[in-house]
Amino acid sequence: MPQPGLIERLAPSLSGGAVLLGAEIGPRYYTDVVGRVGSLPQAVLRPRSTAEVSRILANCHAEGLPVVIQGGMTGLVCGALPRTNEIVISLERMNRIEAIDVKAATAIVEAGAVLQMVQEQVEALGLSFPLDLGARGSCTIGGNIATNAGGNRVIRYGMMRELVLGLEVVLADGTVIENLRKYFKNNTGFDVKQYFIGSEGTLGVITRAVLRLFPLPAERTVACCSLSGFSHVIALLDLMRRRLGGELTAFEVMWRSYFVRATTLPHVKPALPADRAFYVIVEASGVDAATTRDRFENLLGQAHEAALIDNAVIAKSEAEAASIWQIRDASAEVHAAIRPAISLDVSLAIDRMEEFAARADEVAQAVDRQSCVVVFGHLGDGNLHIGVHHADGRLDLGEELEQRIYDLVAACGGSISAEHGIGISKRAYLSHSRSEAEIALMRAIKKAVDPKGILNPGRIFETDQ
C-alpha cells in the first residue's frame, strides 16, 4: 500500500486530469477486450509526458508500489489487467505523432498513439507503416512494441522488432533512457532497445518510439482461395514465395471450422462457398501496379491449373479487398460466438501444423465431447490461432483443455506464444517453450533493471524473485 499522501504529493506535478480515484475509475481500466475483469486499481495515473512518467515511477519505486502499464487494453493474456493494490499508469494521453520524416522514412510517435492513426497519417504522405492487425483501431504503438506484435504482414516486414529503430524508455526508478535514433545500423555494443521490445512492460515503460516506414505500394492485390488439402496450402505458399518474392505481403490460412463461422456473421460477406477444407487470403503489393496484378493473377491461374486451388476470387477494388480481409479480421467475433472458450496463440513448424490441428481436435474431444476447435493463422510465419469451445459453466474444462493443448504444442516442438505474449494467462507454461537457463537469464535481467519488482509484477514469471 502507498504511504499516506503519495497521490496528493504527485498530483501537483502532473497535468490536469492525470489522477483518477475511486468512482472516477471506469471499467475500461480494469476490463480487457474479451470482458475479463481485474481488480479496481488504487489509482489511475494518466501522464502527458515522459517527465511525468519519470516522476510517477520515481515515487512508486521509492515506496515499492507496484504499477501496471496500460495502452489500448487489447491484449489477450491479462498482462494489463490490474491486480490487488496496483496503480495503473495509462499512456492514453501520450498519443501524439510528433514527426514524420518522409526522406528518412521514419516517424517519431508517443506510446499511446493508436496504430490506425499512425497508419493513416503516414499513408497521407505516401508512406506505409506495415504492422497490421484486427485491433488496429484501438491498440497502441507502445502496446504493440511491448508485446512484439506481429499481425498479417509479418511474412514480408517482420514483427515489431524489425519495425522499431529507436526507443525512449523510463526505468523503474524513473531513469529515462533516450535512444530515438533515426538510422537503421548502429553496431555499438548491446542493442538496448531490444531488451524492451516484447518485455511486456516488465523492464521499463516505453514512452516514445522511432518507427521504420516504407513506400506506400502502388498496388495491393488481394485474393481468397479455397483448397481441398493442407498439402495444397503448403504448395501454394511455396509457389507464391518463389515467384512473388518480396511482393508477397500476407498469406493467411483458415480451416473450414473458422471460415464457416466467420462468413455467417451478419457483417461479413462470404467470398467463396464454405465447402472446402481450407481457405487462404493472399496479398501481394508492389511499386508497379500493372506488373504486380498481372503476375499475381497469372500465378493464381497456374495454381488452379496445377489443382492447388479449387476456386479463387480476386478483389477488383479497395472495397472488395477490405471485404475479403473482413473475414480474417472477424476473429474476435468468431471467438465471442463460441464462448465459453479458450483462445490460444502458438507457433509451429509448417510441416507440423496439420498434425497439430488434428490432434488438438482429438484432445478437445477427449476432454469434452461438446467441444469444437476453430483454427486460423499467419501460415507464412508459422503462427496459428486456436479457439476451443467447452461446456458452459465448467471452468475446470477450460483449464484442462489449455494444459493438454499446450502439452501438445511442446510435444510438436512449438511455442506457446507466437505474438500475444505471456502476461498472466500463460506464465505457468513458460517452461514449455523456454529452458531453465533462458528463464534464469530473463529473471536476472528483470532483477537488474527493476530490483524492487514494481513493473507489471507477476507477468511473464510466477514470481518476480
Please indicate, yes or no, whether residues 277 and 305 belong to a single structural domain of this protein.
yes
Are 181 and 287 found together in one domain? no
Number of domains observed in the structure of the chain: 4
Residues 62 and 108 in one domain: no
Q: Is residue 410 part of a domain?
A: yes
Same domain for 231 and 282, yes or no, is: yes
Give the pLDDT of the chain (465 residues) as one tens digit per residue. Answer: 455 588 888 999 999 999 999 999 999 999 999 889 999 999 999 999 999 999 999 999 999 999 999 999 999 999 999 999 999 999 999 999 999 999 999 999 999 999 999 999 999 999 999 999 999 999 999 999 999 999 999 999 999 999 999 999 999 999 999 999 988 888 999 999 999 999 999 999 999 999 999 999 999 999 999 999 999 999 999 999 999 999 999 999 999 999 999 999 999 999 999 999 999 999 999 988 889 999 999 999 999 999 999 999 999 999 999 999 999 999 999 999 998 999 999 999 999 999 999 999 999 999 999 899 999 999 989 999 999 999 887 778 899 999 999 999 999 999 999 999 999 999 999 999 999 999 999 999 999 999 999 999 999 998 765
Both 121 and 159 in one domain: the answer is yes
Do 224 and 307 sit in the same domain of this protein? Answer: yes
CATH number of residue 131's parent domain: 3.30.465.10
Q: How far apart are CA 86 and CA 30, in angstroms?
A: 11
- For residue 387, being part of any structural domain is answered with yes
Domain with 14 in it:
6-90
Q: In one letter, which amino acid is 275?
A: D
- Please check whether residues 125 and 157 belong to one and the same domain: yes
pTM to 2 decimal places: 0.94
H-assigned helices in 199-255: 230-244
* Cα 149–chain centre separation: 4
| Domain assignment of residue 457, yes or no | no
Considering the domain architecture, whether residues 418 and 343 belong to the same structural domain is answered as yes
Query: Do 176 and 114 share a structural domain?
Result: yes
Q: Are residues 364 and 261 in the same domain?
A: no
| Shared-domain flag, residues 77 and 111 | no
Burial per residue of 351-369, b for 16 or more beta-carbon CB atoms within 10 angstroms, e otherwise: ebbbebbeebbebbeebbe
Whether 116 is covered by a domain: the verdict is: yes
**Which residues pair with residue 286 across a beta bridge?**
219
Could you tell me the CATH number of the domain that includes residue 424?
A: 3.30.70.2740
| Co-location of 210 and 127 in the same domain | yes
The x, y and z cell numbers of residue 109, run together, are 510517435
Question: CATH number of the domain that 230 lies in?
Answer: 3.30.70.2190
Q: Is residue 391 part of a domain?
A: yes
